[in-house]
Structure 1
Amino acid sequence: MSTLSEKSCIPCQGGVPPLPLDEKLQLKDQIDPRWSFSNDKKRLCLELTCEKFEQPMAIANEIAKVADEQWHHPDLYISFGKLRVDLWTHKIDDLVESDFIFASKIDQILKSHKL
């Protein structure tokens, strides 16, 4: 069985049903515990605090590169020493497996930055 980070995101064409809550919870257990759900459980959210302004910028740039490779694009918010990532499948305004796959790829980036 492969881990989430070894899988590739599948671009959504719309019309795909969102994951049921029990599957969302099961997949969330496979990513960094710092990820949280939005109140409506339709988005994954991650907030990081860093020591310097350039660190969240560097991480955001790495995420952007993987986002283009995987064709899965989160919303990124950068402020002084902070990075927030909101992740969901825009076409259906909810979560599918690819969102959790991409979250695990972000987790790998964070590990490389020792965060």
Structure 2
Amino acid sequence: MTSLNEKTCIPCQGGFPPLPMDEKIQLKDQLDPRWSFTNDKKRLSLELACDKFNQPMAIANEIAKVADEQWHHPDLFISFGKLKVDLWTHKIDDLVESDFIFASKIDQILKSHKL
């Protein structure tokens, strides 16, 4: 079975049905446990606390680079020592496999920062 991190995101487009909840849970279980669903279960969210002021910006820049490579762009929120990431497929306002693939790529970035 191919891991999520080895897959490539499908560019954001409409016409895909959202994943059923059981598939969302199964895919989320393959991610860092800090990922959570928003209350409506239509987005993935991750909040990080960082020790250094510039660490959230450095991580966000790495995420932005991968986002452009994968054609899948999360919402990033940066404040002092904190980074919040929200992921979903904008065109269907819900989650598809690409959202989980991208989350796994973010997990790899966090591992490289020992977070």
TM-score of the pair, normalised by structure 1: 0.99
1:12 deviates by 2.9
CA distance in 2 between partners of 1:6 and 1:30 (Å):
13
Equivalent pairs, count: 115
Give runs of ≥4 in structure 1 deviating > 6 Å: none
1:15 deviates by 1.6
Gaps of 5+ in 1: none
Aligned equivalent of 2:60: 60
Aligned equivalent of 2:74: 74
CA distance in 1 between partners of 2:46 and 2:32 (Å):
9
Gaps of 5+ in 2: none
CA distance in 1 between partners of 2:18 and 2:27 (Å):
13
Aligned equivalent of 1:32: 32
Tell me the C-alpha RMSD between the 2 structures. 0.5
Q: Does 1:18 align with 2:18?
A: yes
1:35 deviates by 0.1
Preserved CA contact (<8 Å) 2:56 2:83: yes
